[in-house]
Structure 1
Amino acid sequence: MPVPSPSRRGLLLAAGAALGAWSLTGCGVRWVAGEEPTPTAAAGPDDDARTRAVAETRDLLGLALPAAAAAAPLQQAASALVQTCTAHLRALGADAEEAVTATVTATATTGATTGATAADPAALLSRLATTAASALATATATGAGRTGAGTARLLASIAASRALLLDGLATATALPAPPVPAPTTSSSSPAGSPTAGPADEAGTAALQRALAGEHAAVHAYGLVTGRAGPERRAEAAADLDAHRVARDDLVDLLLARGAAPVEAAAGYDVEAATPQAAAALAAAVEERLAGVHADVVAASAPDRAAAAAALLRAARAARRWGSAVTAFPGMAELGEDGTALPRPSATTTSTATSTATGAP
């Protein structure tokens, strides 16, 4: 039986329930983690990328609001999507309140005339997959379309967030999840050439931190595999293999840059006495890895595609193991509502990674 199109009042109620106590007053603050090109009169790649991301997010809202007015379990998954879209709009610098209000009005008006705004979870799944792929492509664009570091990092995080929402919606509706194509992961770093210049040095340093995180992950997953419940040991073993591959790939990349890859620590003071503790350790490891790979997206333009793909994998793995991060995987400085969190006192991402994995 088809789901009836919700009224404007129903959509407003759904939007209000989904957004909860979040404040929607005022415009968003354009989030930039790191320098961007000097603004000019003409729109540049960063402006174009953010404009496109805002349009795609509002498009997702148009599909999510009718679903948020539907019955459970679709309602719960769609409400999470509405919340996250609003957070993304804030981080992108858009007026979140105006976007939700305009989307509610447009959706209700369209439904009144065409009846085409009933909840459509299959269409929502498809749009999540395509917009996640679009954000990944924009974040990793090369040549004239290359964005600044802050925009690339934010868009890679938004892409990972949409993949998490896709997974959650597919589970809630028992529908197949469309794939999110990974960006092309070939690096343009010249093989065998040493680093040269501050940009290359920053990229190499970020890659070293990512490698340190993968070393720690290999150690941690060895423990997780032994401590996880029987039903999750194969999953943990598969993740362990994936991190070994990621570690080896980073070693090869650093050697190609002429850098000496950082070695694993002599030991890691980490414990996971129960299956629950093992799952929590795995989730923490993946959350921190999402952060170091997001740093590579920002710091090393030639390696953005590989780092964005690694961020996507880490975010999905973190969710499988129990992480609650949805809106901004890899961006610990942003809250789930899209506003900046207080900065920790001189704590680097690599230090956080060591803490999460028990490194000394």
Structure 2
Amino acid sequence: MAAEPAEPPEREAALQQALAAEHAAVHGYGFVGAHSVEGDRTRSRWHRDAHRRQRDELRDALLALDATPVPSESAYPPPESTDATALSDFAMGMEERCSQAYLELSGVADPWLRELAARNLAEATIRALAWGAELPTYPGFADDSP
């Protein structure tokens, strides 16, 4: 017997989840950049700017739905250490959380939001690779399997 297809996620909730991940990434890349050396500092600035653009796009999409965008938290937990490896792991973790949020958003019925989610999922995967992540078989899946 075939499994019933999952109900598509509610678009506002999926947008809010992606927005929350973007807020955390913007904050996190500020931290990474402040504790990195030259090359990683530049990369973290580029990645922070990309997340700001994605955050703003999600915020605008929520406003277009007459929804109140979830605000940024006042603080986010930093990594345990500020050595280069810990900062790279932290950056990869932020990109993985964004990937998971965009994978969820890709399940909504709205074609424009699905395209946005697919584009941002691909970009998060590429950014994670820049920090040393392995290319996952199934980007955005927590255990790398559907």
Q: Calculate the TM-score normalised by the size of structure 2.
A: 0.88
Answer yes or no: is 1:264 the counterpart of 2:72: yes
Asked if the contact 1:206/1:292 (under 8 Å) is kept, the reply is yes
Whole-angstrom CA distance in 2 between matches of 1:31 and 1:228: 47
1:206 to 14, 30, 46: 14
Amino acid in structure 2 at the alignment position of 1:34: A
Q: Equivalent residue of 2:66, what SS?
A: coil
Residue in 2 that maps onto 1:324: 134
Shift of 1:326: 1.8
Aligned length: 143
In the alignment, does 2:116 pair up with 1:283? no
Matches within 5 A, 1:64-143: none
Alpha-carbon offset, residue 333 of structure 1: 4.6
* Structure 2: runs of 5 or more not aligned: none
- For residues 259 and 316 of structure 1, do their structure 2 counterparts lie closer, same or farther at Cα, with a shift above 3 Å needed? same
Q: Tell me the percent identity.
A: 35
Question: What residue in structure 2 maps to residue 226 of structure 1?
Answer: 34
Displaced runs of 4 or more, over 3 A: 30-33
Matches within 5 A, 1:340-351: none
- Residues 287 and 323, structure 1, Cα contact 8 Å, conserved in 2: no
How big is each residue's C-alpha offset from its partner over 1:208-266, in whole Å with a ceiling of 9 and x where there is no partner?
00000000000100011112222221111000111111111111110000000000012
Alignment RMSD: 2.1
Question: C-alpha offsets along residues 257-296 of structure 1, whole Å, 9 cap, x if unaligned?
Answer: 0000000012112134112111111001001111100100
- The answer as to whether partners of 1:221 and 1:237 remain within 8 angstroms in 2 is yes
Q: Tell me, yes or no, if the aligned pair for 1:224 and 1:282 is still in contact at 8 Å.
A: yes
**Larger Rg over CA atoms:** 1
Amino acid at match of 1:206: A
Counterpart-to-counterpart distance in 2, 1:334 and 1:240: 25
Q: Which residue of 1 aligns with 2:108?
A: 299
Give ranges in structure 1 of 5+ residues lacking alignment: 1-29, 36-148, 150-198, 341-360
Distance in 1, matches of 2:57 and 2:133, equals 26
CA contact (8 A) 1:228 1:279 kept: no
1:34 aligns with 2:12: no
TM-score with structure 1 setting the length = 0.37
* 2:136–2:144 CA contact under 8 A, matched in 1: no
